[in-house]
Amino acid sequence: MEKTQNNKAWFLVLPVLVLVAFSAILPLMTVVNYAFNDTFGNNQFFWAGIEWFDDMIHSERLRAALGRQVIFSLIILAIEVPLGIFIALNMPKKGFWASFCLVLMALPLLIPFNVVGTIWQIFGRVDIGLLGHTLAAMGVDYNYTNDPLDAWITVIVMDVWHWTSLVALLAYAGLQSIPQAYYQAARIDQATRWSVFRYIELPKMKGVLLIAVLLRFMDSFMIYTEPFVVTGGGPGNSTTFLSIDLAKMATGQFDLGPAAAFSIMYFLVILLISWVFYTVMTNLDRAESGEENR
C-alpha cells in the first residue's frame, strides 16, 4: 500500500508557537531592540550599533557588580552544598520524624522572596530585631545598614537559610535511592563512615547534586529581591549584585539602552556558565564509563 505524504499535522503545533512567540520571543526582541538603538521616548529610535555593549563591557560599575556577584555565588555554593549534604545525611530515614523533617525543610522554600527579605530585614535590625538587638546587647558591633561586612554576612546567612533546604532535599532524595545492600556490604567490608560517604553515598548522589549546584548557581546569580529588601544594595554599592544594578540602571536612571545590552550579556553569561558546567560534568561522567567501549 502506498503511504500518503501528509504533513498537515504540523499545523497543530501552530498555537503553541504563537503562544511562545508572544510570551518569550517578542519580549526578548524588545530588549534586543533597546540594546541596539537609542531612544528619547515618543517611540523614536536611533540606531546605536554595538555602542551600548561596548559601554557596558568597559563599565567599571558593571565589572564591580559582576565581581560581587561571582563572589556571592561561590560563597553560597560553598556553604549550601556541603551543609545540605550534611543535613541530608543526618535526617531520619523513615517514620514520623522523617516526614516532620521534610516538611520543616520545605518551609523556607515556600516563603515568597520579598517576605524572606522582610523577615531578615526586621530580624537583623539593631533597634527592634531579635538578632540585631541581641547581638548589640552582647556587645557585638553589628549593623548591616552601615557595615559592608555585616551586610554581606546578613545576605549570605539569609540565602543559606532560604535555600540550603533545596540542596538538602535533593541530596536526601539521592540518598533514599541507595539500596540497603550497599550499606550492608560496606559493613561487611569494614568500611569507615568516611569511606561509606566517599565511595557509596557521594557517587550515588552525584546526579542530584549536579542539578542542585546548577539550580543554586543560576538562582544565586540572578538574586534580586531578598538583598534588595534587606540592604537595597548598600551600604554604598557593597551588596549591589548584577540584578540590583540592572534594575537601578533600567528603572532608576532610565538608561534603557545600556540596561538592555546589560540584560542580554547577563543572560548569555548565565547560559554560558551553566552550559560549560553541565558539559564538563557529563563529559567527566562519560570519560569515566567510556572505558567499557574499548
Closest CB 290 distance from another protein, rounded Å: 8
Closest to another protein by CB, 150 vs 201, is: 201
Q: How far is the CB of 186 from another protein (least distance, A)?
A: 9
CB distance 120 to 153 below 8 Å = no
Q: How far is the CB of 214 from another protein (least distance, A)?
A: 21
Reading the block at residue 165, the C-alpha cell is: 533546604
As measured in angstroms, the least distance from the Cβ of 234 to another protein is: 46
Instruction: Give the nearer residue to another protein in terms of CB position, either 63 or 187.
Output: 187
Q: 198 CB contacts (<8 Å, ≥6 apart)?
A: none
204 touches 178 (CB < 8 A): yes
How many other CB atoms sit within 10 Å of the CB of residue 41? 7
Nearer Cβ to another protein (89/191): 191
Name the residue nearer to another protein (CB basis): 75 or 98: 98
Q: How far is the CB of 206 from another protein (least distance, A)?
A: 9
CA 189 to each of CA 62, 192, 198: distance values in angstroms, whole numbers, following the listed order = 55, 9, 14
Q: Which is nearer to another protein, 5 or 289 (CB)?
A: 289
* Count of CB atoms situated within 10 Å of the CB of 154: 25
Nearest distance from C-beta of residue 288 to another protein, angstroms: 6
State which residue, 42 or 289, has the beta carbon closest to another protein. 289
- Residue 105 cell numbers, joined: 525543610
Q: In angstroms, rounded to a whole number, what is the distance separating the alpha carbons of residues 117 and 161?
A: 11
Task: Name the residues that contact another protein, by CB under 8 A.
Answer: 181-182, 184-185, 187-192, 195, 199-200, 203, 288-289, 291-292
